Structure 1
Amino acid sequence: MSRAAERKDHPLSMRLPEADIAMIDRAAGLRGRSRTDFVREAAVRAAEDVLMQALPIRMSPEGFDAFMDVLAQPGRPVPEMVEVLTRPAPWESEKTAGR
């Protein structure tokens, strides 16, 4: 007699209002995902965000000193950011820029 393989997936049941289900289904459809895949991915992403905010960052004293040294240095402009921040907004035209 063979032993049944141990199940690795665990069910999760939720009761949601119809409007929530409709919104989830619409968003899942736009992503080409099933409702289950969409909700699982969103729940795992939200859980990771919470855990990343709650977990301390650990580093060696040498690593911390190097990190603090980098923070203490003066900032340097990033050419791509300077270009983005100095270009006119898409709704601005040359005619309205001089007003």
Structure 2
Amino acid sequence: MSTSHTSKRMDASVPLNMRIKPATRNLIDRAAELLGKTRTDFMLEASERRAEEVLLDRSIFTVSPEVYAEFLARLDAPAQINVRLKRTMSTKAPWDNA
């Protein structure tokens, strides 16, 4: 099976150059060494993790108008009696029994 040139390029590594202060580089090197990683592997792992966090924090999900209407209806509905919750809230905390 042959692969196209496009898929080979998508998987290939590309250079990323940056300027960094020596103190920051030394900090990264010390942390990478503790984990038994190279500076590159450490920086890639850390930056990839942070990028995923940022993107996940900004992710917006959508639902159909029907699902959203049901959600709003449940929020607006009067609270249901919950016997277990009522019992829990009326029971003294263990630290109050002393």
TM class by shorter chain equals: 0.5 to 0.7
Gaps of 5+ in 2: 86-93
**Could you list the per-position Cα deviations for residues 22-66 of structure 1 after superposition, in whole angstroms to 9, with x for gaps in the alignment?**
000000011111000000011111111111111102345549958
The SS at the match of 1:30 is helix
**Counterpart in the other structure of 1:21:** 25
What is the match of residue 55 of structure 1?
59
TM-score, normalised with respect to structure 1: 0.54
Residue number in structure 1 paired with 2:15: 11
Match for residue 40 of structure 1 among 44, 49, 56: 44
Aligned length: 74
Query: Highest CA radius of gyration, 1 or 2?
Result: 2
Change (3 A) 1:63 1:12: same
Distance in 1 (alpha carbons) for counterparts of 2:25 and 2:44? 14
TM (normalized to structure 2)?
0.55
CA RMSD of aligned residues (A): 3.6
Q: Give the structure with the higher percent helix.
A: 2
Unaligned runs of 5+ in 1: 77-85, 87-99
